Amino acid sequence: MDLFLQQLANGVALGAVYAMFAIGFGLVFATMGILNVSHGTYATWGAIAALALLERDVPFVGALVGGVLAAGAIGVVVDRLAFEPLRRRGVGMLGSIITSIGAWIILGDLAQEATDAQARSFPSGSFPSGFVEVGGVRLGYPQLLNILVAAALVVGMHLVLTRTRLGGAIRAVGYDAAAASLSGVNPRLIIALTALLAGGVAGLAGVLSALSTNNVSFTMGEGLLLKGFAAVVVGGFGDVRGAALGGLIIGVSEVLGAQYISNDFRDAITFGLLVLFLVAMPRGIIGEREVRRA
């Protein structure tokens, strides 16, 4: 039973990172109708930026913020260069998937060059090492950080999206940009802010993932992308809470599956769930309104 609870906790900590990533990825899909293949690279670059700062003795908080800002900036740049021109020309969803693949190629290759194709890790001592014991379950400080940050993020994002004018504007633009602009919303600004937000959150996921797994590599974002994608399908696209729930489910089932079935099978459960939901409940657990095209 102790082992089960421990692995459950580990699953929750892992799921927290997936949830963070899924929130950003799902936000872009739900509000802009874009399936952004390059979203994983934002996470990679967030981690790379944080690494660069840590290696220059910037304290962890600073490095974290730096990573988030870097990833957010990249998100905005990609949106301006790869998606905005398509929106202006009324090109559909397939077009934005293709340009996102273009951005993925570019950012991935640049990341490979930046890291010299070597797997690195944050300098030891960047973050306090140690454990917390709660009811027979042990969580490392990074794991605890993941859970706390994810929880804060979910609550915060949900409140922003549902209770603030900015959030209302984001959802309005996602639903119908033309109608939103008639109500005094500036769609271009809102879309840029959404891209910034989504990118920044990806960067956050990237830095925390690098911290927990002790690994910064140019391919780390890909794993997050796929798990985030699965999380959004399972949990539901349009709602931040759905992404979070999906992330948790994926994380927990992955860890428990690895423990009780086999390590080689951890991805099988994730993707099996993905297929199951696509076939049976494509809107996800927290089902959403129709997904709108960009």
Binding site for other proteins (CB under 8 A): 35, 37, 81-82, 85-86, 89, 91, 94-95, 97-99, 101-106, 109-110, 113, 222, 226, 229, 233, 262, 264-265, 267-268, 271-272, 274-275, 278-279, 282, 291
Instruction: Decide whether 93 or 144 has the Cβ nearer to other proteins.
Output: 93
Question: Least CB distance from residue 3 to other proteins, whole Å?
Answer: 23
Instruction: Decide whether 18 or 127 has the Cβ nearer to other proteins.
Output: 18
Instruction: Decide whether 120 or 266 has the Cβ nearer to other proteins.
Output: 266
Instruction: Decide whether 38 or 126 has the Cβ nearer to other proteins.
Output: 38
Q: What string of DSSP letters covers the chain?
A: -HHHHHHHHHHHHHHHHHHHHHHHHHHHHHHH----TTHHHHHHHHHHHHHHHHHTT--HHHHHHHHHHHHHHHHHHHIIIIIHHHHHHT--HHHHHHHHHHHHHHHHHHHHHHTTT--B-PPTTSS---EEEETTEEEEHHHHHHHHHHHHHHHHHHHHHHHSHHHHHHHHHHH-HHHHHHTT--HHHHHHHHHHHHHHHHHHHHHHHHHHHT-B-TTHHHHHHHHHHHHHHHH-SS-HHHHHHHHHHHHHHHHHHHHHT-GGGHHHHHHHHHHHHHHH-TT-SS--SPPPP-
CA distances from 110 to 2, 100, 136, 270 (A): 44, 15, 44, 29
Question: Least CB distance from residue 279 to other proteins, whole Å?
Answer: 6
Task: Dig out the tokens for 69 from the structure.
Answer: 């800002």
Question: Least CB distance from residue 35 to other proteins, whole Å?
Answer: 8
Question: Least CB distance from residue 38 to other proteins, whole Å?
Answer: 9
Question: Least CB distance from residue 125 to other proteins, whole Å?
Answer: 33
Instruction: Decide whether 153 or 191 has the Cβ nearer to other proteins.
Output: 191
Q: How many other C-beta atoms lie within 10 A of the C-beta of residue 118?
A: 9
Instruction: Decide whether 63 or 76 has the Cβ nearer to other proteins.
Output: 76
CA atoms within 13 A on the CB side of 286: 17
Torsion angles phi and psi, residue 101, rounded to 5: -65, -40
Question: Least CB distance from residue 190 to other proteins, whole Å?
Answer: 22
Instruction: Decide whether 86 or 144 has the Cβ nearer to other proteins.
Output: 86
Question: Least CB distance from residue 227 to other proteins, whole Å?
Answer: 10
Instruction: Decide whether 189 or 278 has the Cβ nearer to other proteins.
Output: 278
Question: Least CB distance from residue 226 to other proteins, whole Å?
Answer: 6
